[in-house]
Amino acid sequence: MVSQVEPSHALALRGPSSVVSRSSRHRRHGRSHAGGASFIPQNEFPVFSHTGDVEILVKAGSETNRYLLHRLILTQCSGFFEASTSQEWSRAGPSHDGGTELSRVGDDSGNESTRSRDGREVKKRWRYELDTGVSNDDVPMLVQKENNQVSIFGSTDTRPPPVRNKPPSNPSFFRSVANLSLPPSSHGPSAPQLNQDEQDLLNDYDNLFKIFYNYPPALDPIDIATAYLQCKSLLTLADLYDALAVVGPRIDHHLLQFQSRLWKQIAKYPSSYLKLGYLSQSKSIFQEALIHVVGAWPVGERHIRHQLPDSVIEIIEDKVEDLADLVGKIEGRLFRLNLLNSRGERVTPQNSYLDWLVVSLFRQWLAENTSPPPVPQMPQMPQSRNGQHSRNNTTTVTTTHHTNQTIQQFSPIPPSPQSANANLGRVYRTLGTAPSNYLNHDDCKRFLKLSPEIYSRESLKKFEKRLEEVKTMAREIVRPLMRSSLSGEGSNSSYLVCTRVEDNIFPTTS
């Protein structure tokens, strides 16, 4: 009695915590024995010829990749295989040998088999083929096909096995052997080469099954842009087969090896990496991208709302609201900022006119740089008494038309929310890190010259000294906004990157 080899040596459970030691993998090769060489069928990835019970054919273009894997591993890694190989949905039907009666035999491990009338154990085998659909818009999907059962001794056929060393008697055999010596071009037309999409499809499925068996996927280790595309495609495939819990940690591990290059890419494409971090369940990538998205919000809002679930949108909106509250508190403190005179009183036009001008100039600069410009009023068409536009005077209509064009050409365009948010970040960054870049010596001089009666070299020096005191206080007030919560570089960002993301704030894909 031959016992069935258990496939537990390459088990990868559904979930990031399932890791199998690579030392348990063994490669088996044909060995030479005394009296001649014998061929031993492989029992390793991707074809477990002895223990595999799920056959998968992935065809793209002229190439077909064949896998013979284990139902036990596939069901633990993929919800798709767990459902499709269940008793309710499975198409692994009985053998079609006539007169054979089969009875189901089950065990706790999930292996299913049957017994034929003579008592031999027959193992079920499932078969899947890749269905590419009828149009280019269809998503290729594995479809389960009808498949006969296979005995643990081989076929359920009761005929004796053929003699393997019998000399060939077919003359065509000798012709095929002779053709081996001919150049490849004489064998017939070669198969067309795969295009990039077909090759990517084969690579994605191969990487998916490799991860199931705890083999490292073939992802670009040098070019992060190429690695991103490969990871994105692989995650999309894993999402299709409900295997994100197994594939996600592999993607996270591979991308984090890029370190600083990864953070720079996230800063360039935060909304794209936000989705990737969500699908891969990578807290590091998701939090890094979330800080950029919140700081630049609503940049990319349409793309994010279309690509990500409501749970992610709610997190973004909550963090945007928290950041707006913090900015509002900081802004209120800046506008209430004031100087004190020698008696400890707040400066006013009555007790210290020059110091009051310092505070007034700072507040005016702050208001101009934190508020959007007013929307210009558009002139309306002249109307008659009954409320209709007058059509009697063609000159008036033409003049009004030219006036509208002139206003649209020279009036400032109201800034969009995106540009206003970015400008706000630059203003506070100027206040917190570069005080010399605003209200400099020339600005102070021009301002004081508006009041010739108080302008002098001494008054200018005193004015600039008191203004430095205001700038110092402003720098301390905006310090909470200058904090960077990024793992990468954030000092050059035009928006605020001070959003704190707690570890427990993380949406799950389930």
Q: Residue 105 has which token pair?
A: 């035999």
Q: Residue 359 has which token pair?
A: 């505070």
- In the block, tokens 């609201």 appear at 321
| Predicted pLDDT of residue 400 | 40
Q: Where are the domains of the chain?
A: 44-87+125-132+196-268, 310-371+418-509
* Global pTM value: 0.74
| Predicted pLDDT of residue 188 | 56
| Predicted pLDDT of residue 107 | 44
| Predicted pLDDT of residue 316 | 97
Q: Residue 247 has which token pair?
A: 């594939």
Torsion angle, alpha carbons of 415, 421, 426, 428, to 10: 120
SS3 (DSSP) at 486: coil
CA dist., res. 498 & res. 501, Å (int): 10
| Predicted pLDDT of residue 124 | 83
Sign of the Cα torsion 467, 469, 471, 474 reads: negative
CA dist., res. 74 & res. 80, Å (int): 9
Is residue 467 within 8 Å of 354, Cβ to Cβ? no
Topology of the domain covering 44-87+125-132+196-268: Potassium Channel Kv1.1; Chain A (3.30.710)
| Predicted pLDDT of residue 90 | 66
| Predicted pLDDT of residue 146 | 82
Strands 103-106 and 112-115: antiparallel
CA dist., res. 69 & res. 85, Å (int): 13
Torsion angle, alpha carbons of 214, 216, 218, 224, to 10: 130
Phi/psi for 309 (5° steps) reads: -75, 170
| Predicted pLDDT of residue 9 | 42
Q: Residue 36 has which token pair?
A: 């001649």
Tally the C-alpha atoms within 13 A of residue 263's C-alpha that lie toward its C-beta. Answer: 13
CA dist., res. 433 & res. 497, Å (int): 14
* Cβ neighbours around 397 below 10 Å, total: 14
Report helix angle 310-335 to 353-370, nearest 10.
160
Is residue 318 within 8 Å of 311, Cβ to Cβ? no
SS3 (DSSP) at 112: strand
- DSSP letter, residue 222: S
Task: Extract the residue ranges of the chain whose pLDDT is less than 70.
Answer: 1-41, 90-122, 147-189, 373, 378-421, 510
Taking Cα atoms as reference points, which of 280, 291, 188, 274 lies closest to residue 233?
280
SS3 (DSSP) at 41: coil
Taking Cα atoms as reference points, which of 345, 349, 373, 344 lies closest to residue 360?
349
| Predicted pLDDT of residue 504 | 84
